Chain A
Amino acid sequence: MKRYVSVSLIAIVLFSTLGASNAKEVRFEANIDQTRVAIGEGAQLSLVFHGTQDIPAPDIGSVDGIDARYLGPSTMMTVINGQVSTSITHVYTIIPLRVGKFQLGPFSVMHKGDTYTSNAVALDVVEERGPRQQAPIAEEDDAISGINLDDRLFVNLEAGKVKAYVNELVPVTVKMYVNRMNVSDIQLPTFAQEGFSKVEFKEPRQYREALGGAVYDVLEFKTSIFGTKPGEYKLGPAKIKANIIVKKRTRSRRPTSADDFFDDQFGDSFFDDFFTRIERHPVEIKSQGAPLIIAPMPPQGRPATFTGAIGDYQFLFSASPKKLKSGDPITIKMEVRGSGNFNTVLAPQFENLSGFREYEPQVKTEENGKTFTQVLIPESEKVTEIPRAVFSYYDPASDGYKTIVQGPTPIQVEKAQVEAPAQVINATAPAFTAPAAMGESPPKEDLARDIIFIKDSLGTLYTKGRRLYRNPFFLGLLPIPLLLVIIFFYVYAERYRLNSDIRYAGRVRSQQVLKSGLHALQRELKKGASHDFYEMMFKALQDYLGGRIGIPSAGITYGVVEPVLASKDADLGMITKLKVLFETCDRARFAYAKGGEYTMKDDLKVFEDMLKYLEKVKI
């Protein structure tokens, strides 16, 4: 709701101011960025309407010898002390076509019944530029050297104090002022630091500042330093290295505006990029010096516990645990917070640490504080408190030493359970007193501690060095179950494949036939029984080819096998031999044609060759 109200208010104010601005008088003026150009070069004509933003681009007509092109409008609205001013600028490129003196304008525009008339601008067109005009680089270099950098670009060094004590932090500010210039690659300031701590600047801040009637872009670097020895010093001069960017135009020019500060070279318009060349000129800008007196720490009132800390601090103290046994550690946390030079803040000091074992504190430094974590170990139960911790520092604001004391912190230390063995062995059982009345908590029993008695039996006896996991026999047995799994897996996978993959099963069967069939044929050959020999050969052929082709062996004939082999691009000679072999077998089987021993031997050879060949053929 609040947001809605505030938005409405802003809108009302805005519209009312815009309305007020509309009611104001409209002023029309014409500007040209350069009054003297050479033929072929361009100038920029700006027609500015102050007090309005809704006047369209005026028709500037035509001038003999001048070519004018409209580039576009740009609007501007500024609010200064609540006063709103608006304007619209229509920009034209003017390109002269012949030498001569021209007058552009006055231009007149009629808008909403009102007529606005501008001033006239003169343009001198020459044949060619003079020597300076023909050498833009030299011209710009001259321009750079001609710029009064003292006014446009300078650095100020400011020390926060003119007098400080040794180790006291002094804020230092280095400001870089830039007016209507492009500056890039700005480096961190440097200055001589003899007699002072190391200078480390933080990230700079950027803002605008009016100075002597001019508006400057300011880059502000801040740091703090402290003097390490007394004396009169002069800080600085601070030096900043940077590059001044100069835009060199070969055709059109535009005066550098304040908005160009730290401008990106790619941020310009297309036309600027096209006509502009960027050059960087390195410069080192020096500031004036700043006097600074470093005084020694005053000896008056300096406490014995002062270790050099200077600033404005708070000292926080905590200890944990506060109830413990002797020999157990207590963690002490001491935090020094505030503002000042933490480089010189050392751990607060304890007044008397007798009865404690003390360890070096661990230090953690943060931006606005320093934490010291220290371990103290009470050596006996007689210790009742952590002694006072004292932190002293010098406060420049009040110009005096201050001391903060924390503690003493009471602690409860009990007798440790772990004691010397001899004492424990002889320890007698503590007296036990019954509670005086019901509901009263029993008195705290102080139990002794010692080792537990020896074992009565040997327990499991091992032979030295012999362990199950080192036993070679055991280790040798371990892979056997795994091998068993692998073998089982192979066997069962094979069996599964034989049952599920007909082609694979046929191929396996063919291999078996190949081996057993050949042996049987050789036996029959020795017997000389040709009928049985060819019967067996035919059966072997059927079984083998049936297995390979994947059809029942009983159905295998040459007529079945031939198209299969032909489709697999089998050798024609082999197919023919197979045909002959089938025919021979058939003759012997059915016609009882007797083959001699040599014929059978030859046929067996053909059979073997045939099978060897078929083994290589993918069927």
Chain B
Amino acid sequence: MKRMIAFCMLAFIAAQSTCLAAEKAADPERIFYEANAAYEKGDYAKAVQEYARITGKGFESGNLYFNIGNSFFKLGKLGLAILNYERARRFIPRDSDLKSNLGYAQGTADDPFNRAPEQNFLIRLLMVPFRSFNMTTLTVFSTAVYLIIVAMFLVFIMNPERAKKAKPALVILLVIGFYTVVAFGFKYYEEEVLTYGVVIQKEVEARYEPIDKATTFYKLREGSLVVVLKEKGGWKQIRRLDGKIAWVKDDAVEDI
């Protein structure tokens, strides 16, 4: 009887939380369609406001950031457009529309340092099979490979005779596993350890020191992609993709 009561309580809690989640999820959907309607009417500013309500509720998606990027692009805010396209890229890296829009926006920004490869050739080659994976997909894939390897080991432990026959398959699987783990490590480093930012102001002076009067090292254009190294007293230390490190005002660069 006690077990029955406990089961009913758990079922009730689960149903309640499901309903709440559904209600919460439905809300962003509605807002999203309203924002899209505003965009279609050419009211890009309102569209941005509506999309921002969804992110304000703690939700995000690749399509949402794509649409925000489009809205900012139409508003002529190239930096914010690229910023949101870059955010979208972390969710939907395979999306051809996104690739096209991001490429177009970067081309419009015409920043020669925007396309400098951050990774060297070997790492890029390593990442080719996983380029279209976002972090979550890569996590699921890596976990699946890991579980298959574990399962194979268990079978082989229980039946060593079979292990001898299937040794090449295990070796191949281990190589794939290792490769996946290394790729995951690089992706994790790129997206979770490094903080990328985008210049969101028209022209930004990057200085040698975090001081207003410091010598200007170089100038950054709106939409330029940089790596944010650290923040200090209203300044951000950034590294341009060609490796040159300088300081910019923190409102000039927004983290992806």
Contacts and interface: CB of A to CB of B under 8 A. Distances in A.
Contact of A481 (B70, B71, B105, B150): B150
B150 A482 contact: yes
B143 interface: yes
A454 B146 contact: no
Given A421-B108, A459-B61, A460-B62, A467 B150 contact: no
Contacts of B29: 458
Given A421-B73, A481-B150, 13 more contacts: A417-B107, A449-B104, A451-B104, A452-B97, A459-B64, A462-B59, A462-B91, A467-B139, A468-B140, A481-B146, A485-B153, A485-B157, A492-B157
Nearest to A422: B76
A422 B140 CA distance: 42
A23 interface: no
A463 interface: yes
Nearest to B47: A454
Contacts of A461: 25, 28, 59-61, 64
A468 B73 CA distance: 31
Contacts of A420: 108
Do most interface residues of chain B lie in helix, strand or loop, or is the interface mixed?
helix
A151 B146 CA distance: 88
B32 interface: yes
Nearest to A493: B157
A478 interface: yes
Contacts of A422: 76
Contacts of B171: none
| B91, B107, B157, B188 pick with most chain A CB within 10 angstroms | B157
A418 interface: yes
B104 A418 contact: yes
> For chain B, which range describes its interface: under 10, 10 to 19, 20 to 34, or 35 or more residues?
35 or more
A489 B150 contact: no
Given A451-B104, A485-B154, A469 B188 contact: yes
A420 B97 CA distance: 19
A458 B104 contact: no
B6 interface: no
Nearest to A417: B107
Contacts of B32: 457-458
Given A421-B76, A457-B63, A469-B136, A451 B105 contact: yes
B30 to A, nearest CB: 10
B242 to A, nearest CB: 15
B120 interface: no
Interface string B156-184: 01100000000000000000000000000
B135 interface: yes
Interface of A: 327, 417-418, 420-422, 425, 449-464, 467-469, 478, 481-482, 484-485, 488-489, 492
B247 interface: no
A448 to B, nearest CB: 11
A421 B61 CA distance: 25
Given A462-B59, A463-B59, A469-B136, A454 B91 contact: no
B52 to A, nearest CB: 13
Contacts of A454: 36, 39, 66-67, 70-71
A460 B135 contact: no
Interface string B45-78: 0000000001100111111101100110110100
8 contacts: A451-B74, A458-B64, A459-B62, A459-B63, A459-B64, A460-B62, A462-B60, A467-B139
A559 B73 CA distance: 99
Q: Which of A452, A457, A482, A488 has the most CB of B within 10 A?
A: A452
Contacts of B108: 418, 420-421
B201 interface: no
Contacts of A421: 73-74, 76, 108
B177 to A, nearest CB: 12
Nearest to B81: A451
B49 to A, nearest CB: 15
A481 B39 CA distance: 49
A469 B134 CA distance: 11
A69 B108 CA distance: 99
Contacts of A463: 58-60
Nearest to A480: B150
Contacts of B76: 421-422
A418 B110 CA distance: 9
Contacts of A464: 55, 58-60
A452 B101 contact: yes
A489 to B, nearest CB: 5
Nearest to A455: B63
A421 B105 CA distance: 9
A376 to B, nearest CB: 15
A484 B64 contact: no
Contacts of B104: 418, 449-451
Contacts of A481: 146-147, 150
A481 B110 CA distance: 50
Contacts of B140: 468
A460 B140 CA distance: 15
A165 B28 CA distance: 82
B67 to A, nearest CB: 4
Given A454-B70, A458-B32, A489 B58 contact: no
A450 B97 CA distance: 11
Contacts of B105: 451
Nearest to A489: B157
A112 B140 CA distance: 104
B61 A469 contact: no
B61 A460 contact: yes
Contacts of B39: 454
Contacts of B154: 484-485, 488
A488 B63 contact: no
B198 interface: no
